[in-house]
Structure 1
């Protein structure tokens, strides 16, 4: 195991994988700085990309950056590295979310390395899924993935899934009546499908990733169009019995959010590896007065950090990513 600082080209490849992570509104609220002489890569919150209305405490920002950190660890393990990670290493600078010593000693994490092929394949799928059960062994692997990062994954029963769907509809109604909320959503959505080979925005949710409008049964898929017309967008019948999972933590501070983000991405990569697709919704979690009701009272989960919809169906299209040169600074 080498202790020499890594080449910038190697670090760029790691960051390329890191930024494939999901983030609220695909705002990509992260920035990296590589301290070449020290062999240390720092992860910062890009607060200019925070969503003030949907995420006033920056909880979602921390989840997205935690997901990017997990991808970085996966990429490093696949490259034969055993990085040493410190979360929130400097209390005087809370925007410094993690410090990763890339030339750490020890053996690469084989379980993380095995997830590496899923990094470029993982995309949110906001399309109808098949009404098909997820086998028990697959569910257990997903739960194990969350536990490995200090979080909990619960698939609630039918009655609680229905209550979650009601809370999603409640949150949708609140958003629709809030002009500032709608304006923020519009800022991060791209209403026209990108032309072939055309250079479009490198962030936000593109129209082709919205999925069709729902017809009939409701599933917790956020409609980023918000009632606005989208050229070529149709309607579709979604599954009658959506498979919902809740990911949560015992505490609810910044370090817990970073751990939850890593757990979320590890679950999503495990799901992709097992042939599942997924979409995320944080709508009922964005309103403090209803977030508590999302929690499954039959579980020991204290704080729900994300609601996942899992199943078998078409893979979603890739959303754009900012070039590594925009997010990586080398000093």
Structure 2
């Protein structure tokens, strides 16, 4: 009798999506501590365009090295949306917002990112999560918002508006990138989006560059390298692959963990205090992520 595998392809693919998505979230979580270090010595706007320019050059090299085909003409509009959302929009808007609000305040809006991604996944990706999915995603977002508010935050209308626009831009970029990744490939999408942004970010990088780099410290350079290569390129390779494998709505809820990973890294790298309340809320958020994953798809892949 022929032995059959105990592994279910219907389960393997979403599981791989969660793993890849989680790796992407962990990488993105390092952006906040790295940015905190970098903006002490780099102008925030220069940091935004410089990271995109550096990542764009590496992305172009990867595309040429692996001889990737050019995207079809019909795919260019989607790539432009990705570039405007996650390459330029989110980094620029958050850099501007952080001039008005604290980093802790921005956690409120990062906690809303899964909802934005799921909403654009419905609008742009054709996904239709069950009502229970929205319950868990809203609950998880409220937990993140409540935790941030409990820390004692200062408000700025200008900063809040900029952060809200940043979250909308990022959610759209995530959903659009996942949609086109099904045809173009995950890492190819972010690479082409970065390449398309080069004509804009390269001149801006040269124009906004400091007169002298002699006073820039090693930690600042390492932070710029991290946000350029990991936050802007490598993280998206895993993230878009996860969204395609596990679904935009379901895997997108892993973003709920990003603020807590970021705080943990900030505590380890910047020696910031982390309260016990953070860990309690993190456990509750993980349960919400599990619930959202369960109801993230209406029609699961059939068993074989």
**Structure 2 length normalisation: TM-score?**
0.28
Higher relative contact order at CA 8 Å, sep ≥6: structure 1 or structure 2?
2
**Structure 1 length normalisation: TM-score?**
0.26
